[in-house]
Amino acid sequence: MSASNLPLSFVNNPSPARWFRFDPDRTVHLAVGKVEIGQGILTALMQIAAEELDVPLAAIRMLAGDTDAAPDEGTTSSSLSIEVGGASLRLMAAEVRARMLERAAQRLNCAASELAVVDGAVYRNGAPTGQDYWSLAPDVDLLRPADGRTAPKPPSAYRVVGHSVPRLDLPAKISGAAFIHDMVRPNMLHARILRQPARGARLAALDETAIRRAAGGELQVFRLGNFVALLSPHETVAERAGAAAPLHARWENVRRLTSAQQEAAFLLGQPSEDRLIGDPPQPVSGEMVEARYTRPYLAHAAIAPSCALAESRGGHLSVWSHTQAVYPLRASLARVLNRPAETISVHHVQGAGCYGHNGADDVALDAALIAEAMPDHCIRVQWRREEEFGFEPLGSAMVIAVRAVLDASGKPIDWTQEIWSGTHVARPAMGGNMLAHEALPTPPPEPRPTDPPEAAGGGGTRNAIPHYAIPARRILHHLVPGTPVRTSALRGLGALPNVFAIESFMDELALRIGADPLAYRLEMLAEKPRAARVLTRAAEMAGWSRRGPGGNGHGMGIGFAQYKNRSAYAAVVAEVEAEREVRLRRLWCAADAGLVVNPDGARNQLEGGMLQAASFVLKEQVTFGETGVSSLDWQSYPILRFSEVPEIACELIEAREEPALGVGECALGPTAAAIGNAVAHALGVRIRDLPFTRERIASALLRL
Amino acid sequence: MRIELIVNGTAREVSAPPNTPLLDVLRNTLNLKGTRFGCGLAQCGACMVLVDGEPVYACMREIGTLAGAQITTVEALDGHPLRAAFLAEQAGQCGYCLSGILMSAKALLDRNPSPSRADIVAALDRHLCRCGTQWRIIRAVERAASLLREKAVP
Ligand code: FES
Ligand code: FES
């Protein structure tokens, strides 16, 4: 590989010693910067290392996400851990193996090319040489930076990569302590936070006596400006204090919200930063058609509340966090706490699935603020369920207007996707503020929202350019900085709403000319064989030919996207029954993710993405009350239940000679679109606003 | 106040106010961390344990009501076919919801060794899984049931 296209994690951590250590107990210590968030990444990375080094999986001990002892790989997001982290690790392991063999060749007085490695031991012409990685390691310089020139194995030689391997982390998770929530440290205090209702609010009065009475045990109240924490050695006492505190606090200068603001359409009237991306507008003749799609604000709604531990000893601050970004979190903490980053360590400990930027970073600052002021205690902060729903950053609402000019055959020749959205990335290291920072005596300036650039896949614009052969395609992006609530990264960013809009519109266009939606798409994918293949395969799996005329309460729909227009391809078919409400019966998915490291792990991710997308589009919307988010529990924010889960079938297209692509996010948009198209097919009328609630179905049927 | 709880077959004496939630005592006093906090509102099922064989939300159940009752947590599933079945199906993503789900599944299999898919769904419907692993979980419970039946046939 030439130096210019080396993967980022490799470039930023060029010393093999940063990644690998060969321990005397014949294990390989592997440190990585990407972290486990329920997606199975550590298992896949371990496979890659075992493959390139030719060591057994069982010999590898992994450490992930640690500012003291693991490489800096930025943030674990955007389905890039396999594409960037995995590619870096592959090159690095290949380099380590080559250096080991070079040393062995010197010792054995032969050429490195005569040597092979089996289970970490060096062989020559099939015979053991007495040399192995562990005997060689003291003599091999792993500190010297690697240049990426050592070629990794060809995929045709793979024995570990490409085979399903059980998840490393699962046994502990189904039998006992496994999560950050389960950590216990000496001198530990449980803390709950009284949250500032919003930026700018001032705590005018706090009835500590009443809170202590409700707590019913040993309680400390910690206050710094408008940041208040309630601490106790007993978790139940802290929890009761946390539940009571909002009732005994009086805030001034609280911003007010209305329920109108919870609707996506509210964005239309707001000031925005506007950009045109893609082909410039041009006069085209033909029939112009237009439709507008929306999706509301969504919650990540992790099943566990956010949690962090922090302790300050001898001037050093240690923080344990389920953040997606240990090094960026350390830098953000250093900025807020005004101390050198070297005086802070951030250690990743696994939490529940996060699906993007949730409260993980915020709660780490909560814990760090208290720990700094109370040295020699371990401060364990766990958010309350209401706090998680009320204060985590949300996935932005979006409005998407699609306009197309059609040629005489009914195909689009000019496509404009006009988008109104809040930002999709307000991580603390990318311009966002951590919540508690805004409650401190000197709050930071209001963040100026930005969105990831298109080169990084875009935010609101992610997947806004249709994959189909259309002569002119463009995006008009209105980034609304003043969303009523904080918004940030939710699994796939703008991809789900954009794919929902594009693929719904494609079906509407096909319907205008009475074309089969699958055939209509395939005609515009003649030059895109990988796209065509997943669509065709998903349709075959589903038995597309039995689709029927629709309009009778039974529907089948299809949806497709190539994630970020350059990552994994996924096509999904949905089968629904829809009369007064939608019952999702079955989902089929065919995906092409290039070389797949752990096929079962990848299918698990695809299935999870499909069910989460189904939950988003069938059920979810964050609601607002006067003082903030009002959907504060699982009753007011329902998600998909067991009784609503469809049967699922998932297939990976064999493409092992193609680069490995992440699969965590690629199926969400196609699933949302497939369900939407199936609902329209079943009802005989289109619903363009998410979620597909009973009310929306009832009012759509009135239009029939 | 001292209360005697029988947890996973062992009598454990606990001194805590009788209105302390069972979940707190399991996690923080008895150091049984497998039972998880999700909502504290009896809405998600992450904290599910068995009390005298019946699924109970440990986040809401006060220990004062449990003197002499048999409490079973996920730690007691060592060697149970449910564990093997969940691993065989790789029925988990983040895994946070699983210990509660395993307990409801155990209660189901204890009273019905041959549950239909509808039985399984009904038994698990109080549980939320945000990762979307439900489909695999249903299959894992089916597999556990068949493992149990195989074991029962000598
Ligand atoms: S934690 Fe008990 S039901 Fe959610
Ligand atoms: S596996 Fe993550 S919530 Fe169920």
Q: B128 in ligand 1 pocket by Cβ < 6 Å? A: no
- Of the three residues A382, A409, A426, the one that is the final residue of a domain is A382
Domain that holds residue B141: 77-152
B97 Cβ below 6 A of ligand 2: yes
A319, A310 in Cβ contact below 8 A? yes
Distance A31 CA to ligand 1 centre (A): 35
Res A427: pLDDT: 92
CB atoms within 10 A of CB A565: 16
Residues A137 and A216 occupy one common structural domain: no
Count of CB atoms situated within 10 Å of the CB of A626:
11
**Looking at chain A, which residue has its C-alpha nearest residue B97?**
A303
pTM (2 d.p.): 0.97
Cβ distance B34 to A177 less than 8 Å, yes or no, reads yes
- Paired with B14 in beta bridges are B3
When CB atoms are compared, the residue of A39, A303, A642 closest to B124 is: A642
B93/A40 touch (CB, cutoff 8 Å), yes or no:
yes
Q: Which amino acid is at A298?
A: L
pLDDT at B129 over 80: yes
Q: Which of A37, A601, A639 sits opposite B128 (nearest CB)?
A: A639
- The answer for residues whose C-beta is within 8 angstroms of residue B73's C-beta and 6 or more apart is B7, B8, B26, B32, B34, B35, B49, B50, B99, B103
Specify the number of domains making up chain B: 2
Mean pLDDT of B105-113: 97
- Which of the listed residues A165, A190, A205 is the one where a domain comes to its end? A165
Q: Is residue A263 part of a domain?
A: no
- Domain containing B129 — which CATH number? 1.10.150.120
Give residue B73 CA to ligand 1 midpoint distance, Å.
14
- What is the least distance, in Å, from the CA of B142 to any CA of chain A? 14
ipTM: 0.98
Residue A270 in any domain: the answer is no
From A79-83, A202-206, B25-29, B48-52, the region with the lowest mean pLDDT = A79-83
Residues of B within 8 A of A38 (CB-CB) are 93-96, 131
Query: Are residue A484 and residue A607 in the same domain, yes or no?
Result: yes
User: What is the span of the domain harbouring residue A675?
Assistant: 394-702
The confidence score (pLDDT) of residue A386 equals 98
A236 contacts in chain B (CB < 8 Å): 20-21, 24
CA of B43 to the centre of ligand 2 (A): 15
CB within 8 Å: B135 and A647: yes
Please tell me the total count of domains within chain A.
3
Q: Is the domain of B98 the same as that of B62?
A: no
DSSP state of A654: P
3-state SS, residue B64: helix
Which chain B residues are closer than 8 Å to A177 by Cβ? 33-34
> If you search the block for the tokens 């606990």, which residue do you land on?
B14
- CA-nearest of A14, A2, A367 to A151 is A2
Q: What is the pLDDT of residues B2-17, one digit of tens each?
A: 999 999 999 999 999 9
Chain position carrying tokens 């629709």: A550
The reply to whether A297 falls in a domain is: no
Closest chain A CA to residue B23: A236
Inter-chain contact B128–A167, Cβ cutoff 8 Å?
A: no
Any domain includes A466: yes
Residue A385: list chain B partners with CB under 8 A. 38-41
For residue A452, is it left (φ>0), alpha (ψ between -120 and 50) or beta?
A: beta
Please answer yes or no on whether A353 and B34 come within 8 Å at the CB atom: no
Give me the amino acid identity at A247: L
In 3D space, the residue among A667, A663, A664, A632 whose CA is nearest the CA of residue A648 turns out to be A667
Domain final residue pick, A382, A406, A427: A382
How crowded is the C-beta side of A532, counted as CA atoms within 13 Å? 11
Chain B nearest-CA distance from A601, in A, is 8
- Residue B95 CA, closest ligand 2 atom number: 1
- The pLDDT tens digits of the residues spanning A650-667 come to 999 999 899 999 999 999
Locate the ligand 2 atom nearest the alpha carbon of residue A38 and give its number.
2
Residue numbers in chain A where pLDDT is lower than 50:
1
pLDDT value at B99 more than 90: yes
